[in-house]
Structure 1
């Protein structure tokens, strides 16, 4: 089964006559997805973007964190584990090369989970591997998505 997702990006130059010869463009733009609030995006501050806006790197990491949690909740429900709380403080490592290209080299998820039955902690910890195997976003990445799990 295939699903189609659509997003529209709109950008307009904000350069005035004096800036017209500048090699830098504004990185701020809007992404619209039908029926949802507009997403204001820019480059990361390190890449001359607006640090107050989300950037593609933020959004990629957010997608991984969110998808892993939803996959984890799914596998827990399939295994009779009631999750009471879930939090994550994830990190992504981006390498930028001399030619201006770059890539993520790894993402490290740090899920902290509280379950209702302490007798199932070992299984709850193991289910992160299954969640990672099922995660649509992790399956689409060409870098490792690592997990440092804590369950109580």
Structure 2
């Protein structure tokens, strides 16, 4: 596997405080806007702040899937909720903290410790969490059904 990869993203202003995100190698176009908490922000449109938190949460999931496969964790479901805390620090807005709340469902109680280990390794290996300065916290829930 190559040790360098490049991801190109384009944004074009659309109207008001929103634009369209595209990538040359993806078909989908995504609307992005200033969030409603800011002047002239737009409700019901994903914002850079949402995408920031989503990138961390999505990376946790994709890394978990790879690590779980490597550790042969037999899981039934994975879901995660994430909350980013945006605050003013030194007169600048900063996403100071992201709290990840992953829930892994397994059928075998004996794999509970392994599921926790896989989640912890996934958070440490996630390239997005390794690339941001936000404090990342994780509240793990393992369900056995």
Question: TM-score scaled to structure 1, two decimals?
Answer: 0.85
Give the 5 Å matches for 1:86-125. 86-97=78-89, 99=91, 101-125=92-116
User: Could you say what secondary structure the match of 1:74 adopts?
Assistant: helix
Verify the 8 A CA contact 1:81 1:116 in the aligned structure 2: no
- Where structure 1 has 5 or more consecutive residues not aligned to the other structure, the ranges are 15-25
For the aligned residue pairs, the C-alpha RMSD in angstroms reads: 1.6
Deviations 1:18-68 (A, max 9, x none): xxxxxxxx3211111123211111011011311121100000111111110
Equivalent residue for 2:10? 8
**Residue 117 of structure 1, CA deviation:** 2.5
More helix by share: 1
Equivalent residue for 1:70? 62
Question: TM-score scaled to structure 2, two decimals?
Answer: 0.88
C-alpha separation between the residues in 1 aligned to 2:68 and 2:22? 33
Match of 1:54 among 34, 41, 46: 46
Q: Who wins on radius of gyration, i.e. which is larger?
A: 1
- Where structure 2 has 5 or more consecutive residues not aligned to the other structure, the ranges are none
- The runs of at least 4 aligned residues of structure 1 exceeding 3 Å deviation read none
